[in-house]
Amino acid sequence: VSLVRREFIDAARLAGYSNARIIASELFPNVLPVIVIATSTTIGWMILETAGLSFLGLGAQPPQADLGSMLGEGRRQLFTAPHVSIIPGLMIFALVMSINLMGDGVRDVLDPRLKSGALGRPSARTEVAGNRAKETATAGETAEAATEAETVLDVRGLATEFRVGAEVYRAVGGVDFALRAEECLGLVGESGSGKSVTAMSLLGLVPTPPGRIVGGRVAYRDQDLLDVSYARLRQLRGGTFACVFQDPLSTLHPLFTVGDQIVEVIRAHQPLGHAKAHAMAVELLKLVHMPNAERRMDAYPHELSGGMRQRVCIAMALANDPEILIADEPTTALDVTVQAQMLKLLNRLRADRKATVLFITHDFGVVSEICDRVAVMYAGRIVEIGPAEAVLAEPAHPYTRKLIDCVPVLGESRRRLDAIPGLPPPVNRLPAGCAFAERCPRARAECRADDVALAPLGDGRSVRCLFPLVSGGAELG
C-alpha cells in the first residue's frame, strides 16, 4: 500500500501502463524482497517455537526425534554428558541463522535497486578498460612531449561509458590533452562527439549510473582528480575549477533569485558574511555588464533574458577566481549579437584574471576568435590537436578539413558549402579502425583494419590519421 503512493508508480500511470502491467512490472519486483525477508524470518521463528514447545514436552513425543525434545532430555545430564544438549542447541542456532541469511541473499539477488547498481558505491572510476587506457596514455605522451608552457591540467586516456541495458556507449574513448597555463584550448566536434561528457568527466560530474569513468587520469598539480576524495572534489568544483554550461535556464535553480545563487557560490568557498558576499555578487554582475545589477539580484531566472541568464552563469563561474574555466558551448543558446558580446567578455576576463580556459564549441568561427589551440573530437576521441592558427589554415585530418569547409566565409558567396556525407558512427557500435573511415574521401583498406594512434606531426600538432593532409608542414596532395 505504501509503494502505491510512490513516484515511480505515478510515473508508470502517466506513461499509460495498465493496472496489471504496473502490478507486474513496477509493484511486484519491489515487494518481492520484502516477501522473501518476511518468509525467511517467519520460518526461523517457527523452528524456534517448535523447539521451544518440544523442550517443554508439549511438542513431538519420543520416539519421534526433535531438536527441542533432545535439548530437554539432555538438560538432565548437562554435567555428565554436556554434548547431548549442546549439539542440538548449536543445530537450532545454525538452522535459524542459515535460513535468515539465505533470505537476505535471495533478497539481494531480487532487489531491483541493487540490480541496477543504484545503491552501489558511487566511485569515480572503475578499472575495466585500464589496459586500453594505458595504451592510449603512452601514445598521447609521445605525441605531446614538447610542451613549453607549464601544464596545469593533464588528461590522459580518459574513457567514459554509459551502460544502458545491455548496450555500452563509449561516449569518451581515451582522450588525451594537456591544458597549459593561461591558454584557451578549444574543443570542437559535431553534436554527440563526446565534448560535454569529456568536460563533465574531468570533475566527476557524469551521472552515475548509467555513466562510468572506466579509465584514464586527470592530473591537476600532483593529484589525480578521478581519485581524490569527495570533500576535495567539492572544494575544487566552483573554486579552482568553474563551469559555464550550454543552457543557462536549466543550470540556474528556478526557485531562487539569481542573487541568492551567486551569494551561495561565494559563501561555499570563502569565509564571508552575507552582506559582504552580497556586495561582491553585485560587483560580479557589474563585471559581466549586467544592466541594473543591484535590482537584478532579486530577479528569478525566468525574469531575465537568455543573454542575462548566461551573464549570471559567467558571474557565478568567476565568483571564486577560478584557475581553470570550463565553458561548454556557453554561447550556443544565444543569438549572434549576444554571442559576440559574451565572447568579448570572456576573452577580456581571461586576459585580466589569467585563467586557463577549456572552451567547448562546434563553431570554428568562435575557435578562430578566442582559442590559442584547438582539439577536434570525433566519436569520443581527439582526432587532431594543435595551435588554432595552424589547424585552421592547414587542417591535417580529413574530418577537420570537412568541418572547416562547412563554415560559410563572408565574401565567398559563390563557394558551395560542403556538407559531410553520412553520420558519425553510433558510439555503441564503433568500427574497428578509424571511426571516420566510412565518411572519409581518403580512406583505404588500412584505415579500417586497425586502431589509429594520435601521432605527432611537428610544431606541437598531432593527428589521428594514417594519411594526413599535412605531414610535417609539407602538403601531401
Enumerate binding residues for ligand ADP (CB under 6 A).
Answer: 162, 164, 169, 171, 189, 191-197, 207, 210-211, 427
Distance CA 281, CA 298 (A): 12
Select 196 or 400, whichever has its Cβ closest to ligand ADP. 196
Choose the one of ligand ADP, Mg ion, none that binds residue 189, judging by a C-beta under 5 to 8 angstroms depending on kind.
ligand ADP
Select 196 or 400, whichever has its Cβ closest to Mg ion. 196
CB of 207 to ligand ADP, least distance (A): 5
Indicate whether 196 belongs to the interface with Mg ion (CB under 5 A): yes
* 230: exposed, middle or buried (Cβ count in 10 Å: 0-12, 13-18, 19+): exposed
Choose the one of Mg ion, ligand ADP, none that binds residue 391, judging by a C-beta under 5 to 8 angstroms depending on kind.
none
Which window, 51-59, 116-124, 192-200, 467-475, contacts Mg ion (CB under 5 A)? 192-200
Indicate whether 462 belongs to the interface with Mg ion (CB under 5 A): no
Choose the one of ligand ADP, Mg ion, none that binds residue 140, judging by a C-beta under 5 to 8 angstroms depending on kind.
none
Select 194 or 215, whichever has its Cβ closest to ligand ADP. 194
SS3 470: strand
SS3 350: helix
Choose the one of ligand ADP, Mg ion, none that binds residue 427, judging by a C-beta under 5 to 8 angstroms depending on kind.
ligand ADP
Distance CA 386, CA 406 (A): 20
Select 281 or 427, whichever has its Cβ closest to ligand ADP. 427
CB of 264 to ligand ADP, least distance (A): 26
DSSP lists the bridge partners of residue 458 as 461
CB of 48 to ligand ADP, least distance (A): 49
Which window, 83-91, 194-202, 295-303, 421-429, contacts Mg ion (CB under 5 A)? 194-202
Q: Give the strand pairing for 184-188 and 211-220.
A: unpaired
Distance CA 473, CA 404 (A): 19
Q: What are phi and psi of 315, to 5 degrees?
A: -60, -45
CB of 196 to Mg ion, least distance (A): 3
Which residues 6+ apart lie within 8 Å of 178 measured at CB? Answer: 144, 147, 151, 153, 154, 155
DSSP lists the bridge partners of residue 358 as 185, 326
Distance CA 218, CA 342 (A): 29
Q: By the criterion CB under 5 A, which residues form the site for Mg ion?
A: 196
